[in-house]
A = this chain, B = another copy of it.
Amino acid sequence: MKLDAEWITGFVDGEGCFHVGINKHPEMSSGFQVLPELTVVQHERDVQVLHALKSHFGCGVVRTNHGDRMAYRVRNVDHLRKHIVPHFIKHPLHTRKRQDFIKFERILRKMEAGDHLTAEGIEDIRRIAAQMNRGQSR
C-alpha cells in the first residue's frame, strides 16, 4: 500500500498523537528523561495501514498497543527530527494537533541544543509539554 503525503497528514490529524513524556531518571544529569513520540493507534484489522506508515517514513515500529489495538510509534529522536518533523512542516496538520506538533518540534530543537540535560531546561520543556494534548478525549 502506497500512501500519499497529504493522506498521511489527514490520517494523523484524525488518529495520531504527538506526545512528550518526562520521566524521573537518576542517571541523567538533569534527573529526568524526555521522551518525545509520535503514535498512531488502529484496530488490528487495519494494521496494514500502520505498516504502510512505517514503510513511508522509513522508521518507527508497529506493536500491540493494548487488546485488539495496534500502534505505530516513533520514539528515536534522530528519526523524529529527520523523517517525521520535515513531513509535517511540508504537509501541515489542520486540526488543533498542529499546535501540539509545533510544541513537539520546539522541544526536539531544545533537546538538540542539550536543554534537557539541565534542571532549568527540563522545567522549560515540562512547561511546553504540559500545554500539549489538551482536551484530548482519548
Instruction: List residues of A whose CB falls within 8 A of some B CB.
Output: 1, 3-15, 42-43, 45-46, 49, 52, 91, 94-96, 135, 137
Contacts and interface: CB of A to CB of B under 8 A. Distances in A.
For A3, A14, A49, A52, the residue with the greatest tally of chain B CB atoms inside 10 Å of its CB is A14
A5 B12 CA distance: 15
Specify how many copies of this chain sit in the oligomer: 2
A52 B10 contact: no
The main secondary structure of chain A at its interface with chain B is: helix
A98 to B, nearest CB: 10
Contact of A10 (B1, B8, B42, B43): B8
A13 B49 CA distance: 10
Contact of A11 (B14, B43, B45): B14
